[in-house]
Each structure stands twice: as structure tokens, then as C-alpha cells.
A and B are shown apart, each in its own frame.
Chain A
């Protein structure tokens, strides 16, 4: 596909944005848009309404294993996928 950067080019865009951020410098809008496009390439959104989510059992911030059964209320659960809590 013409114009779609490969992984190495995406990495270069992301590193440049990271460098500018660390240096406290402004990010040019055109570079920022390329960064967003690179990050969102082949955007996937997971199971659709009506489908089942995969089963999971993960530790929470207290180290306790949690799964859907103990997280959901009677009306269900809002499950939010974050990039990171740390940055």
C-alpha cells in the first residue's frame, strides 16, 4: 500500500516524538499526525457487541486474582484497556 510506513519507519517516527517530548520541545502537528497514524495502523477493536469476551484471571494492584465473575455488578462491567498507568 503506497504511503504506509513499515515498522522501521514507524519506529523512527515514534522515537522522534519521544525525543522531542523528553527534551520538552513542541511536536510539529504534521509529525504528530504521522505518529498517530503509525500507532493506529491496522486498528483492531476486539470482540463486537453480541460476542463473548475471552475468559481472564489477572492480579489487581493488591496482588489478588480477579476475573469477570467478581468484577461485574448485576448490570455488568466496564472494562477499560489502557496504554499504561505509568506514563
Chain B
């Protein structure tokens, strides 16, 4: 989150974390990890309860008693919830960098970005961050640019055309979602069909949920962009453009007693 703080601040968004730890514990944590944003102490979990996030499943003799269900809120300056982020597994979190990329279009400096090209199509695809923990959600954006006179297809499509897709391989990832913008229905001169097409430049955001557990260190998130480029007169065969995006999986810090 500290890596993403400048991105969000650039976009005019503050960050704060809440936990049930005392200010002393939070100060130690902030110093140890060079955290620059406010860590709020909700000792006794009163605010956690007021938000309706108190987790009632943990018995009072376990130290986890009092924790919230892990939810992130993006709120407007007047306190209205703009968006809410949660993944129903407390080991999985939506990263602040993922939010920065999805909501504000900014990615961390040095975040993996690669440009792949084939014929009339160029795609720049990049991740929201350089590093993440196992179980976190990382965002990506694929920026498509087509040469004039060429188009690729959206969905739904009849045979034998191939729709455009961005798909990551399973390695390191348990779930992915991709949001193509709406394709434009266009009447194609050659066949007089009306099909959903993309042309010019457009962006495709998405998110990846990393596996948990995952070995720390460098990982290559790979995938393919599948598409079929057609001009007004000719269709090329469907193609697949492979890509690789490096990411560092950070090791968990094992807390010690004391």
C-alpha cells in the first residue's frame, strides 16, 4: 500500500488503515516498514462495530477476536461510499495499486508494461504494481491501437469470426476478470453483415487474483491476446499474441512475540 500511496495522492485520494492495534503497536509497525500514511487505532473495535464489520466468528480468547471482515472503502470527502472492495477470503486483498489503476488510471513506477504487435494491431499491456503479496488482487490495463481501415471483433459473434480476448495463464493466478468496452455494431462492406467491432484505440481493464500461498520472488504472469483483424476487404486468420509481465511476490513477514 505504501508503494501506491503517491499514486493515489496524485489523484487526490488520501489513504488510512484501521485496525484494533494500539497506537504504540501501530507506531512500531509504521517505523519498521516506513509507512507514511495514517494507521488508525480502533482499540476495542468500536468503530469496526459501527461500520458493521465486526467478525463474530472468533472466540474471545483468541487474539484475532475483535478483527473486522477485511473491506476497503473508497469514500468521497463527504463520507459517501463511492466503491467497496472485498474478496471473501481474508488472505485475499484488493491492492491499493489495483484501485489506483482501475479508478484513476495510474500505475506504480516501474510496473511491468510490455508492447506486443502483429499486423495492424498494437497492444500495450501493463500491471498496476511491481510487487504484491500472495492472495492479493492486481489490476492490469491492455491498451489496444488499430491502424486505420482495420477492425477486430467483440461479442457476440457468429462463426467463423473470432472475438477479441485477453487471457492470463493459470500460473500464479486463481481468478481473472476482463472488461472489454462495448463494441460498436458496424455494417461490413464486404459481407453486408452487422457485427460488433473495435477500431482505433481503446482500453481494456481487468484484474487478477493471485494464488495463496505462493512462493515469494519473481514470477512471470503470462498470457495471450487473441484477435482476428479484418479490413474492409479482407480478413486475416485469427492470431494469438503472447505476453509476459514480471511481478515480484513479496514474502510475508512473520510477526514475533513481544
Which A residues form the contact surface with B (CB < 8 A)? 7-8, 10-11, 14-15, 18, 36, 38-56, 58-63, 66, 68-69, 71-87
Contact of A36 among B52, B90, B96 (CB under 8 A): B90
- On whether the beta carbons of B255 and A60 are closer than 8 Å, the reply is no
User: Which 6 A/B pairs are nearest by Cβ-Cβ distance?
Assistant: A75-B12, A61-B26, A85-B29, A87-B255, A58-B40, A11-B59
- Nearest chain A CB to B97's CB is how many angstroms away? 11
Q: List, sorted by A's number, 25 A–B pairs whose CB atoms are closer than 8 Å.
A: A7-B59, A14-B59, A14-B62, A40-B88, A40-B89, A43-B88, A44-B54, A48-B84, A53-B51, A55-B79, A60-B16, A61-B35, A62-B23, A63-B23, A72-B75, A76-B82, A77-B13, A79-B16, A81-B17, A81-B48, A81-B70, A81-B71, A83-B19, A84-B67, A86-B25
Contact of A59 among B8, B41, B52, B72 (CB under 8 A): B41
**Known contacts A82-B68, A84-B21, then 19 further A-B pairs from the complex at CB < 8 Å, ordered by chain A residue:** A39-B55, A39-B58, A43-B69, A46-B51, A48-B84, A49-B83, A51-B80, A52-B80, A53-B73, A66-B38, A72-B14, A72-B76, A76-B12, A77-B14, A78-B99, A79-B75, A81-B69, A82-B18, A86-B255
- On whether the beta carbons of A45 and B53 are closer than 8 Å, the reply is yes
68-120 of chain B: CB within 8 A of chain A: 68-84, 86, 88-91, 96, 99, 104
Contact of A40 among B51, B74, B77, B90 (CB under 8 A): B90
Contact of A53 among B17, B20, B57, B75 (CB under 8 A): B75
Contact of A78 among B61, B72, B88 (CB under 8 A): B72
Interface size of B as a range: 35 or more
- On whether the beta carbons of B77 and A76 are closer than 8 Å, the reply is yes
Q: Which residues of A contact B48 (CB under 8 A)?
A: 81
- B9 within 8 Å of A by Cβ? yes
Q: Which of A56, A66, A75 has the most CB of B within 10 A?
A: A75
Contact of B9 among A44, A47, A73 (CB under 8 A): A73
Q: Which residues of B contact A83 (CB under 8 A)?
A: 19, 64, 67-68, 70, 90
- On whether the beta carbons of B23 and A79 are closer than 8 Å, the reply is no
Q: Which residues of A contact B89 (CB under 8 A)?
A: 36, 40
Contact of B72 among A7, A54, A79, A85 (CB under 8 A): A79
- B11 within 8 Å of A by Cβ? yes
Q: Which residues of A contact B79 (CB under 8 A)?
A: 52-53, 55, 68
- B214 within 8 Å of A by Cβ? no
Q: Which of A8, A42, A82 has the most CB of B within 10 A?
A: A82
Q: Which residues of A contact B11 (CB under 8 A)?
A: 75
Once A56-B50, A62-B27, A85-B19 are accepted as A-B contacts, the answer to whether A79 and B73 lie under 8 Å apart by CB is: yes
- Nearest chain A CB to B101's CB is how many angstroms away? 13
Q: How far is the CA of A82 from the CA of B48 in the complex (A)?
A: 10
- On whether the beta carbons of B81 and A50 are closer than 8 Å, the reply is yes
Query: Which residue of chain A has its CB nearest to the CB of B47?
Result: A56
Q: Which residues of B contact A52 (CB under 8 A)?
A: 78-81
